[in-house]
Structure 1
Amino acid sequence: MKSEPNNSGQPGAASWYEDEDALLGVARTVRLPRRTPNISGYDSLKELSRGGQGVVYEAVQRSTRQRVAIKVLLAGALATPAQQRRFEREAELAASLRHPAIVRIFDSGVTTDGFAYLVMEFVDGHPLDELLRELLPDEGRQAAIKRRVEVLARVCQGVAHAHQRGVIHRDLKPGNVLLDANGPHVVDFGLAKLTGGQESIEVSRTGQFLGSLPWSSPEQAEGAIDGLDVRSDVYSLGVMLYQAATGTFPYEVRKSIATTLENIKTAQPVPPRQLSRAVDEDLQTVILKCLAKEPARRYQSATELADDLLAWLAGEPVRARRDSAWYTLRRRAKRYRRVAWVAGAFAVVLAGALGWSVYAFGMVSKARDMASEEAANAKRAESFLEHMLQAPDPKNQGRDVRVADILDTAAGSVEEQFKDHPLSAANAHSLLAGTYSALGLYDKALPEYEAAEKQFIATLGADSDEALGAKSGRAACYYELGQVDKSVQVAREAADRARALFGEMHQRTLDCESVLSVSLDAAGNMKEALPLKESIAQRTEKLKGPAHDDTVNALNNLAVAQIHANQADKARATLNHLLDMMVKAHGEEYPDCIRMMLNLATVEKNQGDYAAAEKHLTRFAALAPKVLGPDNPDTFVGLSNYGDLLLKQERYDEAKKVLEATLEDQRRVLGPGHRTTLGTLNNLAMACDDLDQRELAEKYHREAYAGIIKAMGPDNVQSLISTANLADALVRYGEVDEGEQLLAEMVPRARKKLGDDHWLCGVFAGNLARAHLAAHRLDDALAAGEYAVDVLNKTLGPANDRTQSAVQRLGQIHEAMEAEIRSGARRL
């Protein structure tokens, strides 16, 4: 972040709402000192601004030399040890947020003077309120409003990401959104909680105000701090949307604080279309739904709001007005004017269907009556997790308490906590599962998804969106834990049911199919995986547009399948395009960009372009531990791939050191049986092999083989590769009979599984030819060798190293046959 901008509204005479310090002065009892603090690990501190919560400095992180922003918070917020422990736990949770529309928190601590500080991403941009203060032009006003809504839609997506991880902002306003070339970035996530409300204004003896007044929700104005949930943030987003569309606030906020508080609680917003005809009915509906005084009448999540804004931007019907079947027809006809005349011919048929529509929405209205109870269930789950953040005491446990420790405690008490509220229990399990997954703790996420699915089925039914979401999450955990066959089975059940219930264009269907496609890919079932991923990418792009994150992820998944299907040129072109687009949109230090670097490097390595692969893997190794986390499974995969690249470059000692260190960390974090741990073990075995450390190599090969077969079954692609590696090593070590037998049994299974024309089958057959040659079974060697050369020529091409190796081996077989002919042992 660059600075802490003023909390300004619209042009005009200065008033209290334009000066946060003036507003907060009535409650402020402490001030930050003027001297620059000394914070260990950071140099060149330069004050950027002073605001309502503290002082922002620009600094340089000593270890990485990157620019950061440091916010030093008000004194007094951490007056007691309990408050300090709470700050540390809440800061860790806020730091776990990873989204391009949220300014990242890198570090936190307390200075020697007792001032809490947060180290954040430096955004070289300007606050959103500068954009909103600009007068909307008379000409092109609709286009200007659309540009503003596009920005706020991305803000909503960032806020939704935080909400899904149990973090509520509580102080959303234009001044807390910074804009740069990559889009909006929300700052100060969680600070209203982190500082314990110390910057708040006391409005009564019984209630405290929490948030910046003009953008606050009615419940904030009431001082109901304990009653705040995600819908309070939705209200604040609605005020920002109102400003974006009209250039002013929804009610008077320039008079006294008491009058402003009363207006927030009771005054109905002036309909935006009364102020500007450039605001259409759909956008007005969205804005007014956000600004409902009763939380139950608002969007129940920032995700719902973001979806409606994206629908409006795309010219699609918004959910806020979905009660009207005629509205939907009118909206689609407006979007497709050239088709509307033809569609009119079918109006009678459509009108005949309205009877069901009215009846169906009658049932929806009953469901809407349950919204308050659903919101209460969600609130119970969020409050439960928030309570757990305050519960553990490090002194009692003898070590630092991490978010994962708190989640473990929470997971063990869900059933008792919600014994009378089964839907709240399901929501809590689902929230815990998602948070565990975000931290890469899939073994802990799995039982939470199982419990959530069971209770969603009991309360909402097996065909509910929530139950299918939990089932799909369970399948994803199986995949991450290496239980690929089980992942395919469960993901297929979820995808088939979602498709039948919601249709192929529904987001739940796409989500479930995505998990299925990845699982099929891991199982080596490319006949299903590749066309499914192609279909998902096409439908997602049609639904969300070419630049949407979901489309990018779908295309990235498709590129991975293309790699496995030996369509390397297609995969490389796709990944290069995506990486370039994502870096421009989000910057290099964005999780999906880093994962794309890894996938692109894999293609480049397989194509023999080691220089390009090293460039991307070196950058990955520098960024992944910092952005994804040092213990993230993807970080381990990248480091293991880097070790494999060093092997291919014949830098064997370097490779062994990288792989040994990675393997040690993987065994500690993921366990010895995790699929990525076993992959690294396999690479380490080959490094020892190349270094002529035969005993170690054979030991590691056998461990990897046994572990992969146990985890994935004998016919999984990774199992087939591990079998080939072990067998090939045994043949070279002189244990020809065992190696030949392993290959002779495996190659037919591989051809059945992958297809006769798969390049891996060519590689396996080449290994078998070498084993037969070593055993002096030359006829068998010739058959296997000729098949290998034929397949590899067709798939990898004659210039590929593997093809040339197979051709050389075939020549050796012919030479051995000619030698037998010359000796008389073989007749022509």
Structure 2
Amino acid sequence: MSCPMPRERLWEYAHGELDDARETADICAHVEQCPHCAAQLDEMRSLVADLDDLGDAPPPRALPESIGPYRILRKLGEGGMGVVFEAQQETPRRRVALKVIRGGWIAGELRVRLFQREMQTLARLNHPAIAAIYDAGVTDEGEHYFAMELVEGVCLSDHVAGGEDRPPLRIRQRAELLLEICEAISYAHQRGVIHRDLKPSNILVTPAGRPKILDFGVSRLLDEDDRQTKLSLAGGMVGTLAYMSPEQARGATDEIDVRSDVYALGGVAYELLAGRLAHDVLQRPLHVAVEMICSQPPADPRQFNPSVPRELSAIVLKALEAEPARRYQTAAELADDLRRYLTNHPILARPPSTVYRLRKFVARHTLPVGLLAAIFLIVSASAAGLGALASRLADERNVARREARKFQEINRVLTGFLEAPDPWRRGDRDTRVLDVLDAMARRIESEVGRDPLVAAALRSTLGATYRAFSEYDKAERHLRFAMLQRIKLLGERNTESARSISELGEVLFEMGRLEDARRLIERAYALRRELLPAVHPDIADSLNSLGLLSKLQGDFASAERDLSQALDLRRKLADRAADLPDDRERAERHNALAQTLNNLAALYRAQAATARAAGDAGAWRAALERARPLYAEALELRSKWLGEAHPETAKMHNNYGKLLRDLGERAAAEEHYRASLAILTAALGQRHAYTARAMYNLAELLAEDAEAGDAARRREAETLCAKALTFQQELLAADHPHIRASRALLDRLANEPK
């Protein structure tokens, strides 16, 4: 059991700061009788001794001409354990950062062990955001050194603050940079490394805006034994006080784990957002600073920078919780919450209110929310329009009454649903929009029965929404109900019936039931040609789907015929879109044109693959060159009408990149692959199947350079492919071909000579 002796008095005693001789004698006597205080005092004295040891520096020496095989160019800096030089390596010829142990050949055992452990740590890590180690050795004079990647850049805080030639980073840009740093630290943790000295000065940002984490000099290896761990500083304080977790500041070595780095990441984030330290410990006595870190929660960063969003502030404060159990438990969790913030998902750092969750829900799911909103617009428009219709067309009074009942029923059901208890009230953080849809579906199936056409309209909307979320079994059930009801009540030769037939066929297509899908889509196409004008979006839709079906079934001639006809119709419809008053409808027509351009280009790539397999190089290149202008036009259309940051634009970058790679234009292909990955990461997050596939595609391209001996591109390829595989294993079935492909690429990279 602990005694009431104040910890700060023990600090003062350990430091020799007490002026009162009698008080010094009293504490000395107390420590002799109190095992608890004696243990604390031993830790404090060990800390003081080790800090003194690290602070002892040999007298400055002239800049050496060389160290080992490295020619010294200039001194970059120095720290507690080492001096860093810029040096020239001759084979391979490159500039490196050469770190040399302080004290040279007379360095003490502790310093040598820490220096060697930094080398061991860096050797474990191979990540684009962590400076890589190249070589290590000892000179003939016994001087330890290691060579590592020379990072050109500025420290994190200077990069964020901006300069004469660039403005300060916006809040969102700072959050994106923090996300990259968290992902790199998570990578280190997964390989058994805790940094323990994260701070802005240990993170450089390259001219390309990418972070590089440095200085693993006081890192801890999770799999080392207790004896080795205590060599770090004999149970003392390790790191930089302003960014230390409470357990580090107390010198509680046994309590330090990955959550200590999470705290430091929170401290870095706080400084970048608030412009000041989370705890103002500078110029304070050590024991006062430690007490402040352990007992005083940091102020909300919004007090110092009101432009910081509440969500981001909540994330930072959660990372800075004094109790490790209340923080994010891993750097990956912190990264996930930053990603949630950046992609408009509800964050986990606070209990979210209903209004807050709904706001994020709408921002994230524009398609299904748009579908529901469309129903309300129909309701509103019908309320106004039906009155006029009834007054003008007395002979259609029964039709008007039926339509009024239909929309009143829709309005009653949806209003009742939205006034129901909050679907997220259970507190399940993984509750998705599908829970909302399932609840709505049950309500509709049980309560909407008096008018079958009302039920058909609602079930059709539900089916389309389920399809948008790839819930195909549920989509099929609702769309089949809608189709059968409409055919029964309206007859097959009706545009609503034709639409239902087509919608069901599209879902069966996506489920892989190609023959069933073809029968329905061909029937819908025939009905639409009979019932609609020759140039109509629905006819173009049917032709586009038939072309895709034929391509999948290997009938390239039919596929080219149908897709070419669809392209011709969609060009005409896009040309006529200028006369439409609705911007959204104009965008939809141009996006549909881009879709068919992409589909036809993909068909030409498939034809090229067939020609190549047959050994016909001329036909192979001709087919690829036919695809090139189609992909280029599709990318231009989607960039213009959907925006540069839209996932559909990312898809076009990816597909165009594949074509350019086939043609041997590797630099241009890489540019498009990187653009695709950046867009998908920002829009969908890294833990998404599309993003993981984009990582794989880029890794596969880089791996080809790795085969030619490019070590940097090999490291990037390995990192990207490993991340892709991790996310694919979380998201996809165990036997999914994407998982098999990622594993094969990783194996190939691992088995190639370095």
Q: TM-score, normalised by structure 2?
A: 0.46
Which of structures 1 and 2 has the bigger CA Rg?
2
In the superposition, the TM-score normalised over structure 1's length comes to 0.42
